[in-house]
C-alpha cells in the first residue's frame, strides 16, 4: 500500500543515552498517525534493540536499520545480516544511501543484491537514489536516477517492487540546508513514478511510496509533502530534534 512516511535517519549520531532521550521525547509528544501513515526511525545498529523496545505497541511506528549486508551469514567480519535484523523484529532497512555509495563504494549491482536479500527475508528496503550537483547542473538528473532504478530495481517482479519504498535524495541537498524546491521535488518524483508505470503499469506505480530527502525541516515539510507525488520524507539533521521531527511527522498528508 502507498504510505505517507516520515523516516528519521540518525546516521552516525548520538550515544545510546542520547538516542533513548530523543526517542522518549518524540514519543511523549502526542501524534496521531493515520492508517496510511508511518513514522520510521533508522537508528545505528547498536541501538536497534533499545529503539525496538521503546516503540513496542505504538501504532504505525517502526524501526529501521541504516544498512545491511548482501549475504545471509558467514565470514564477513563487521557486517550485519538481514537475518540478524529480522531476529530483532526490524522491518525496514535503508539501502543505498548516497553516503554509502560514496564512502563505501556501494555500486548499483551490490545494491540490487541487498534489495533482493531484504525482500527474500520480508524486510522492506528504503531504496535511495539521487544525483550529485554537477549532474543537476547539466540537467542530467532524470537519466541518472533512471539508471539507478534500472540497475538496482528493475529486475524485480511487480509483486516485489510494490514492497520497496523509494527515497529520492539529491546529493546537493543532503545536509547542506539547500532543499530542492517543492516543484523540483514534484517534477522528479513524477518522473520516477512514470518510470515505474512504464515498467510495471500505472496501478503498481501508484502503489509505491516515494519519499523526498535532503534538508527536510519542520518549516518546509508541509509544502514538500503537499506535492501529489511526494509521499513523505527521509530526514537526517532535523530528525535529531524532537519538536522538529514531530512537526515533520504531523506534516504528512
Q: Pattern 185-224, binding to ligand PGA, x per CB under 6 A? A: ----------------------------xxxx--------
Whole-angstrom CA distances from 191 to 29, 75, 187, 188 are 36, 41, 6, 5
- 46 is a contact residue toward ligand PGA (CB under 6 A): no
> Scanning residues 155 to 184, which ones bind ligand PGA (CB under 6 A)?
169, 174-175
Write down the catalytic residue from 97, 106, 189, 195.
97
Question: Which residue among 91, 237, 242, 253 contacts ligand PGA (CB under 6 A)?
Answer: 237
Q: How far is the CB of 177 from ligand PGA (least distance, A)?
A: 8
Dihedral of CA atoms 111, 115, 118, 121 in degrees, nearest 10, equals -130
Q: How far is the CB of 238 from ligand PGA (least distance, A)?
A: 6
Query: Which backbone phi and psi does 25 adopt, to 5 degrees?
Result: -65, -40
Write down the catalytic residue from 99, 106, 169, 244.
169
Q: Report yes or no: 65 and 80 within 8 Å, Cβ to Cβ.
A: yes
Closer residue to ligand PGA in complex, CB, 10/69? 10
Q: How far is the CB of 86 from ligand PGA (least distance, A)?
A: 23
The C-alpha cell 521525547 sits at 25
Residue 83 a catalytic site member? no
Burial environment of residue 77 by CB neighbours within 10 A (0 to 12, 13 to 18, 19 or more):
exposed
Residue 189 a catalytic site member? no
- 235 is a contact residue toward ligand PGA (CB under 6 A): yes
Q: How far is the CB of 72 from ligand PGA (least distance, A)?
A: 27
Report the chain's C-alpha Rg in angstroms. 17
Q: Terminal CA-to-CA distance of the chain, rounded, Å?
A: 15
Closer residue to ligand PGA in complex, CB, 10/196? 10
Closer residue to ligand PGA in complex, CB, 18/155? 18
Q: Report yes or no: 128 and 114 within 8 Å, Cβ to Cβ.
A: no
Closer residue to ligand PGA in complex, CB, 95/205? 95
Alpha helices in 126-210 (DSSP H): 133-137, 141-152, 158-161, 182-200, 202-205
Residues known to be catalytic: 97, 169
Which residues of this protein are in contact with ligand PGA, per CB under 6 A? 9, 169, 174-175, 213-216, 234-238
Amino acid at each position: 500500500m502507498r504510505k505517507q512516511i516520515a523516516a528519521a535517519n540518525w546516521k552516525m549520531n548520538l550515544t545510546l543515552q542520547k538516542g533513548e532521550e530523543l526517542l522518549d521525547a518524540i514519543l511523549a509528544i502526542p501524534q496521531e498517525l493515520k492508517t496510511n501513515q508511518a513514522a520510521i526511525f533508522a537508528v545505528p545498529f547498536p541501538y536497534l534493540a533499545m529503539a525496538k523496545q521503546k516503540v513496542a505497541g505504538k501504532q504505525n511506528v517502526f524501526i529501521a536499520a541504516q544498512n545491511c549486508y548482501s549475504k545471509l551469514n558467514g565470514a564477513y567480519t563487521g557486517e550485519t545480516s538481514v537475518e540478524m535484523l529480522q531476529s530483532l523484529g526490524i522491518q525496514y532497512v535503508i539501502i543505498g544511501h548516497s553516503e554509502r555509495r560514496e564512502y563505501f563504494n556501494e555500486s548499483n549491482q551490490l545494491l540490487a543484491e541487498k534489495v533482493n536479500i531484504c525482500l527474500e527475508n520480508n524486510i522492506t528496503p528504503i531504496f535511495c537514489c539521487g544525483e550529485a550537483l554537477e549532474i543537476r547542473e547539466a540537467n542530467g538528473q532524470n537519466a541518472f536516477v533512471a539508471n539507478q532504478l534500472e540497475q538496482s530495481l528493475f529486475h524485480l517482479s511487480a509483486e516485489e517492487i510494490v514492497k520497496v519504498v523509494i527515497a529520492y535524495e539529491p546529493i546537493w541537498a543532503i545536509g547542506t540546508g539547500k532543499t530542492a524546491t517543492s516543484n523540483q521535488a514534484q517534477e522528479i518524483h513524477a518522473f520516477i513514478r512514470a518510470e515505474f508505470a512504464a515498467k510495471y503499469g500505472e496501478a503498481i506505480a501508484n502503489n509505491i511510496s516515494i519519499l523526498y530527502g535532503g534538508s527536510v525541516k519542520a518549516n518546509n515539510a508541509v509544502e514538500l509533502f503537499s506535492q501529489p507525488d511526494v509521499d513523505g520524507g527521509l530526514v537526517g539533521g532535523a530528525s535529531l530534534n524532537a519538536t522538529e521531527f514531530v512537526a515533520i511527522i504531523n506534516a504528512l498528508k
